[in-house]
Chain A
């Protein structure tokens, strides 16, 4: 059963993405694309002639996608949270290397920003993991989902996580890595056809990845988890529609002051 879910992860993510595009359009009082639009895009991309800059660049996207999927699988299988975070980091690094491996200005800046984003959200993810550990006594997801009351015990960590969700799902105010109007999508700028497809789908997986973290806060109650995911989803989209994109430096500053101190205060609160 779990393997089916793992196999379906991109589809699930695609639905989330599709739903998000509809929701965003509605928030802007537009009709918006159909719900299945991401899949149309996917199939369309498969049908394009592919242009590449050089082979390693193209393949790194593939590797990124595969490793990302692997990390999603790790989540579903209930592995150690820290491993999962680092696996994800690894996937991200493959992508960043890809961005750097072409001599393209936007790709380079995109990679730079992606690195900054990693530096920004990685600590928070780990702190959240540590928070789970302190409350449940284990880093294993399989153990963590057996606990409860996370929301009461580590509420500020949840808030910290909330702050970084927009980074991962590439939403305002922290969509600096993609920033269409500045760097035309950043890392993804040089991809086309099937190889872009992998990047496009890895976005779906990112959704699953980050929303799983949110889901964990529900503990053993699946309902609470689902409600949390939905609430965060809605909130993130609301914020996306109410803010402009901040500068990368601002993003770092906000994360490192607000989010980190929230997390630290919460951890201290548990410990003292």
Chain B
């Protein structure tokens, strides 16, 4: 329990320290130390065996209620200020619902905080990855055009956010969960709007109203739970059965779909890409959006083998394909990453909702490695953006000559997302195996299986399309200048890569499967390549074949744009499916 307190409070303390001492060096030290401490704590927590629970002090509960109301009023104010009806309506709806629920909420019977296996696992992700991102953010913000205070505020906010995340993954009370959920919404709202220009503002508002839908459905879910089972605790809810249970759970999972930016809500996540890169990394791929699969995982004991669970895995699987496909039409690097995040979150939710032991384990593995790889990719994207001022993949052609290290990291990120022996690959591989084994139970899993297969293929297409842009370089003998990239950028990347490799190794060890180990063998070629390159001096260098002509060749990548009609059909379809979750929940 002390350790959990550390996880929650340390980031806040660190944030305060940062606010107090405006020294660059100190910022590094603080964030570095925080990272180290948090990771160690999270890891030791993870290895500790027992679950434990505790109550929040009563005063704190009151404080939370007050804070919640203030928060919602703030949303209302923002909606008023920027004249956004949707935000206002949703904020008012939440206020009313929240007020009503608090008035009828049963006195907590069980502990508000429950730290179980899942929470510990989430601590690992949040603190490991989040810490690195904070470290990176310090360097990143140096180049930002904002007042020094605002910069510190930014880093501080990221730290505070870490503690929010740490708390949310062990919240047992739905109301507490709701509060923290709204806090994360707030965080994305503020951080997306950080740059303060028109687009940021617009996208922030979009994120706000979409996420508030999540808030509303959570509240409705809680209301139903109170009415049906007289509880606001997850664990009690999950233990009960019959009645309106499925509806309540369905509503809660809908919140997950929103947070996970499943179609048709992917808009807010993509809009979020205007935020500074650490924000994208932290909120929109590595940690915050992981709430979505986390929530489904939490609910999975109930969801497993039900219609609701089925429909959620269907949505997840289809999102996996659709988002991968949509990503193919994009050319902004961060947007591509965003879409692929949406896709993979869909996959994770699908697997979590299937709810067999195996698929849950796979979903968790996917979560961990996705967080690591995506953070790596986002941070590298940030480097390219900061140092080379290119956001669009068309501008990144031949980047390998100009920024070999960063491109190396990006490629490594892609490799870790797609190829053996890395976690994501393994995850997908096992996912196919496990879904295939489920086929005998219900043929409908065939859809999930198909989506899985096709989606993976599309993602491969996507990543290597981008990789291609980075790699396309002219002949060896044509020199191009590189730019030194400061250690502040590189160290976080190295740390992440280390985590990925270590994770892969650890995972392989865990599997204790000889084949898996052998699978790692081909990777040797890739790592051996650079060393051989130096011995290639005796071969003649020549120019590419251009039909006998001279002159440089310029090409864009390939874009697969679905027609407007298909897109619209897609959105409608997903919208209907989204509503169907609630309907199915109500019916069963």
Contact = CB atoms under 8 A, between A and B. Distances in A.
A and B: direct contact (Cβ < 8 Å)? yes
Contacts of B566: none
Contacts, number: 172
Interface string B119-133: 000000000000000
B536 to A, nearest CB: 4
A219 B433 CA distance: 21
A190 B545 contact: yes
Contact of A103 (B398, B450, B533, B542): B398
B472 A53 contact: no
A82 interface: yes
B439 interface: yes
Nearest to B530: A56
A63 B529 contact: yes
B197 interface: no
Majority DSSP secondary structure for residues of A touching B: helix
Given A104-B546, A111-B468, A130-B439, A56 B429 contact: no
A122 interface: yes
A87 B519 contact: yes
A130 B436 contact: yes
Contact of A126 (B432, B529, B539): B432
A258 interface: no
Interface string A39-68: 000000000011111111011101100110
Contacts of A80: 515
A223 B537 CA distance: 50
A143 B533 CA distance: 41
Contact of B464 (A86, A91, A93): A93
Contacts of B543: 53
Contact residues on A (Cβ < 8 Å of other chain), bracket: 35 or more
Contact of B420 (A60, A87, A106): A87
Nearest to B544: A104
Contacts of B446: 264, 267-268, 271
Contact of B449 (A112, A130, A272): A130
Contact of B540 (A51, A55, A102): A51
Majority DSSP secondary structure for residues of B touching A: helix
Contact of A100 (B436, B453, B461, B472): B472
Interface string A93-109: 11011011111111110
B421 to A, nearest CB: 10
Contacts of B474: 103
A222 B541 CA distance: 49
B540 A93 contact: no
A52 B471 CA distance: 16
A66 B453 contact: no
B453 A50 contact: no
A184 interface: yes
Contacts of A5: none
B440 A87 contact: no
A119 B458 contact: yes
A260 B543 CA distance: 41
Given A67-B525, A83-B515, A268-B443, A56 B533 contact: yes
B475 interface: yes
Nearest to B554: A103
Contacts of A55: 476, 532-533, 536
Contact of A87 (B461, B522, B541, B542): B522
Contacts of A116: 461
Given A58-B539, A268-B446, A119 B457 contact: yes
Interface string B454-487: 1011101100110111011111100000000000
Nearest to A79: B515
A54 B522 contact: no
Given A59-B529, A63-B525, A118-B461, A54 B420 contact: no
A76 interface: no
A115 B518 CA distance: 26
Contacts of A123: 450, 453-454, 457
Nearest to B446: A267
A61 to B, nearest CB: 11
B21 interface: no
Given A51-B541, A101-B471, A260-B450, A63 B526 contact: yes
Contacts of A62: 525
Given A63-B525, A83-B519, A90-B420, 14 more contacts: A53-B476, A54-B476, A60-B529, A83-B420, A86-B419, A87-B420, A94-B526, A104-B544, A104-B546, A119-B458, A122-B457, A130-B439, A264-B446, A272-B443
28 contacts: A52-B540, A53-B542, A55-B476, A59-B529, A63-B525, A63-B526, A66-B522, A87-B519, A90-B522, A91-B522, A93-B418, A93-B460, A96-B464, A96-B468, A100-B471, A100-B472, A102-B544, A108-B555, A115-B464, A119-B458, A134-B436, A139-B436, A184-B545, A193-B539, A260-B450, A264-B450, A267-B443, A271-B440
Q: Closest 5 CB pairs between A and B?
A: A100-B468, A104-B544, A54-B476, A271-B443, A63-B525
Interface of A: 49-56, 58-60, 62-63, 66-67, 70, 74, 79-80, 82-83, 86-87, 89-91, 93-94, 96-97, 99-108, 111-112, 115-116, 118-119, 122-123, 126-127, 130, 133-134, 139, 184, 189-190, 193, 260, 264, 267-268, 271-272
